[in-house]
């Protein structure tokens, strides 16, 4: 996703939200967080260091925030009340380049940025005790020619890293060392013979069995690939005319959602709809009854709640191009039907975001804002889907991509 749409995509933020057993948006006891432990992979509870008490973060910290501070990685924390403050103690490493517009977090502690000018991926390890990050040994990791590094995504299990080329449709695959996070490109990568023009928006289904690649233009088909569960190797499973440019998969593995617009392709979105596709055991996407579903604004991105029950779109007025309030929908887990939530569009929040993403608890929906360098923190009710605006702040940010974990 080259930065052609910076007017609507100015703010990058990465949130590592820490809603673990009393360390969330409630009380903050002496429970400690370390870089290993049980439950959900790395980053579980152990006895190493304290994020909710002593240490470099405030005792009310509910989340960590990582973003590009012009030339280097920067960090902040979100309090239980939803306010933001910068973390200034640690020294944060420099970015390998400023030419990136995608990022992903893997296994709750590995952060990867692709750079399309140097065709490489830079990797960082997150210290969950202090909030600092350290560059991985050997980083940045250069792709084998003729691959390009624009989009990046991992499987839900954190075993493989997939890097897409927006300019040539290449797909590079890496295995991820579970201890160091160092990615190693697999034999046969990069894949350049699948007939893709672009690899602009990528998603892995909730089971980790299939990779979906949208090409940034709704008139071009979405390509589906089966993922070898041992090596990460890709095999073509078909191409489908779905009419979407941007896509995300829900965590259940049942549905793939998409919108006709991607944030950086045109001046603004024009089509007021979002599509839902059911996924069968072969990975084939099939439009559910009633899809595409109408939206008030024209969405260019959306976020799916971790419990797969709710979907929130961000977009613009289709006539003026001005940013619009967040819209919310309930996703029926049986049929895939989208139903607007009460109060949607959420104009009362006074938030008109470029992009929103969830922390893994599903309690924080962090949104980049139209004003350069600002973002808003929203609290999402996991039962009703209702949103509450808890805070807005401005920091020195450069570009718009962000990824979320807790």
Q: What pLDDT sits at residue 212?
A: 98
- Could you write out the DSSP letters of every residue in 150-187? SEEEE-TTS-EEEEE-TTT--EEEEEE-TTT--EEEPT
Cα angle, residue 45 at apex, residues 25 and 104 outer, rounded to 5°: 75
pLDDT tens by residue, 251-301: 999 999 999 998 764 458 999 999 999 999 999 999 999 999 999 999 999
Strands (DSSP E) contained in 43-194 are 61-69, 72-79, 84-86, 104-106, 110-115, 120-126, 133-135, 141-142, 151-154, 160-164, 171-176, 183-185
Confidence of residue 344 (pLDDT cuts 50, 70, 90): very high
CB 56, CB 89: distance < 8 Å: yes
Cα angle, residue 260 at apex, residues 195 and 342 outer, rounded to 5°: 145
The position carrying tokens 């793939």 is: 256
CA distances from residue 205 to 85, 284, 338 in whole angstroms, order as listed: 34, 11, 19
Confidence of residue 6 (pLDDT cuts 50, 70, 90): very low
Give strand pairing partners of 277: 256, 287
pLDDT higher than 70, residue 215: yes
pTM summary value: 0.85
pLDDT higher than 50, residue 12: no
Which CATH topology does 6-405 take?
A: Methylamine Dehydrogenase; Chain H (2.130.10)
Tell me whether residue 217 is exposed, middle or buried, using C-beta atoms within 10 angstroms of its C-beta: 0 to 12, 13 to 18, 19 or more: middle
pLDDT higher than 60, residue 398: no
Give strand pairing partners of 369: 353
Cα angle, residue 152 at apex, residues 285 and 352 outer, rounded to 5°: 80
Mean pLDDT lowest among 39-53, 106-120, 240-254, 380-394: 39-53
**Rounded Cα gap, residues 356 and 377, in angstroms:** 9
Domain ranges of the chain: 6-405
**What proportion of the chain, given as a percentage, has pLDDT over 90?**
57
Nearest to 285 by CA among 216, 213, 347, 351: 213
């Amino acid at each position: 996703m080259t930065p052609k749409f910076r007017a609507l995509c100015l703010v990058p933020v990465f949130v590592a939200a820490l809603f673990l057993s009393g360390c969330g948006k409630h009380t903050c006891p002496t429970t400690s967080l370390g870089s290993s432990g049980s439950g959900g992979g790395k980053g579980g509870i152990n006895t190493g260091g304290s994020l909710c008490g002593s240490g470099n973060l405030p005792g009310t910290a509910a989340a960590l925030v990582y973003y590009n501070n012009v030339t280097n990685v920067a960090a902040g924390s979100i309090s239980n009340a939803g306010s933001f403050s910068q973390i200034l103690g640690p020294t944060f490493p420099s970015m390998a380049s400023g030419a990136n517009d995608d990022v992903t977090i893997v296994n709750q502690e590995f952060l990867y940025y692709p750079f399309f000018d140097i065709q490489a991926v830079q990797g960082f390890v997150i210290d969950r005790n202090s909030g600092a990050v350290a560059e991985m040994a050997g980083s940045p990791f250069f792709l084998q020619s003729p691959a390009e590094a624009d989009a990046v995504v991992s499987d839900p299990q954190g075993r493989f890293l997939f890097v897409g080329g927006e300019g040539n449709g290449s797909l590079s695959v890496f295995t991820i060392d579970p201890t160091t996070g160092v990615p190693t490109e697999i034999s046969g990568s990069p894949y350049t013979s699948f007939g893709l023009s672009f690899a602009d928006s990528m998603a892995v289904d909730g089971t980790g069995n299939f990779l979906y690649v949208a090409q940034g233009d709704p008139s071009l088909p979405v390509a589906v690939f089966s993922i070898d569960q041992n090596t990460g190797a890709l095999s073509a499973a078909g191409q489908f005319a779905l009419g979407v440019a941007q896509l995300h998969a829900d965590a259940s593995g049942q549905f793939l959602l998409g919108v006709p617009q991607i944030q950086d392709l045109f001046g603004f979105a024009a089509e007021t709809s979002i599509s839902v596709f059911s996924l069968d055991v072969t990975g084939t996407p099939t439009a559910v009854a009633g899809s595409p579903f109408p939206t008030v604004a024209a969405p260019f991105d959306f976020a799916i709640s971790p419990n797969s029950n709710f979907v929130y779109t961000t977009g613009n007025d289709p006539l003026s191009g001005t940013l619009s309030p967040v819209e919310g929908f309930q996703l029926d887990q049986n049929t895939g039907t989208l139903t607007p939530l009460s109060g949607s569009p959420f104009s009362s929040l006074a938030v008109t975001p470029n992009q929103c993403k969830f922390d893994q608890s599903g309690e924080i929906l962090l949104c980049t804002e139209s004003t350069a360098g600002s973002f808003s923190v929203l609290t999402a009710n996991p039962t009703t889907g209702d949103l509450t605006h808890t805070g807005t702040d401005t920091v020195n940010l450069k570009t718009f991509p962000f990824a979320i974990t807790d």
